[in-house]
Amino acid sequence: MSAPAEFLPWDTDFFGVRIGRLTQQHMDISYLAEVLAWAKAEQIACLYFLASADDPDTVRLAEDSGFRFMDIRLTLELPRLPAEVVAPQLEGVRFRMGRPSDFEPLRPTARAAYTQTRFFSDPRFSDEQCADLYETWLRRSLLEAWADGVMVAELTESGLPIGYITGHLNAETKRARIGLVGVSEAARGRSVGQGLLAATLAWFAQAGMNSVEVTTQGRNIGAQRLYQRGGFLSQQVGLWYHLWLDQSGSS
């Protein structure tokens, strides 16, 4: 019989508390009891739960049981990626694949760009920890191949990087996934995000991908509009909850 939840070693090491995640998106009393028993046995401090947004019984039970709402997770997809996508032309900006030297100039953007995410929404995680999380994500994507590549926007004249998109390629399914997207504060309002997305889609097409998916926050209207302008369609909505537990396994 499979466990009702899974231990998350990376999150645990990063935040310094034992963290687990429920393996199902629907919840009833029996499943909740299994989860809490597992959490007690594993000495879990925090449980993540991605609940199905179309199941009000699950939502009510989760909230009645101490799970706290953190975020709306919106998944969008581009179901058919054209075989050839024209690389964008943006005055004063060019697009290229990232390199390790891009990390330092892009580091401040990674630390500041994701305050609408569920980690920043959870008061048990400090803002400094959350900023460290996204800085680490970008650093490891550029320096340690966490991503299959990073598309970077840079100023043509100075070569200063001003934005990025991390990308993941699945050769088996021919489906690409967009990870982190960030544009520096000073470069916003210049269509850099739109150009980055088009450049990333061109890269995906050249790599033989057929479709693309991305997740964003329900409160991030700017990101949603960016993807919608790029032809993405809503695919799935989930609700992120966190449950913090004491050592006895009760909330």
Same domain, 87 and 109: yes
Residue 250 falls inside a structural domain: no
Same domain, 129 and 87: yes
Pull the structure tokens for residue 23. 């393996």
Domain containing residue 13: 5-72+239-244
Q: What is the pLDDT of residue 86?
A: 78
Residue 201 falls inside a structural domain: yes
Same domain, 100 and 201: yes
How many CA within 13 A on the CB side of residue 18?
Answer: 15
Query: 171-221, pLDDT tens digit by residue?
Result: 999 999 999 999 998 887 788 999 999 999 999 999 999 999 999 999 999
Q: What confidence tier does 226 reach under pLDDT thresholds 50, 70, 90?
A: very high
Same domain, 102 and 205: yes
Same domain, 53 and 108: no
Residue 234 falls inside a structural domain: no
Query: 102-142, pLDDT tens digit by residue?
Result: 999 999 999 999 999 999 999 999 999 999 999 999 999 99
Asked if 75 contacts 214 with a C-beta cutoff of 8 angstroms, the reply is yes
Residue 233 falls inside a structural domain: no
Give the chain's domain count.
2
| Beta-carbon count within 10 A of 224 CB | 17
Provide the H-helix boundaries in 156-244: 192-206, 221-229
Same domain, 64 and 92: no
CATH code of 104's domain: 3.40.630.30
Same domain, 107 and 185: yes
Same domain, 98 and 168: yes
30 Cβ partners below 8 Å, 6+ apart? Answer: none
Same domain, 90 and 168: yes
Residue 42 falls inside a structural domain: yes
Residue 92 falls inside a structural domain: yes
Average pLDDT, rounded, for the chain = 94
Exposure string for 173-185, b = 16+ CB within 10 A, e = fewer: eebbbbbbbbbbe
Pick the closest to residue 23 from 48, 56, 59, 46 (CA basis).
48
Amino acid at residue number 176: A
Same domain, 92 and 113: yes
Same domain, 38 and 109: no
Same domain, 52 and 163: no
Amino acid at residue number 59: V
Residue 24: DSSP 8-state: -
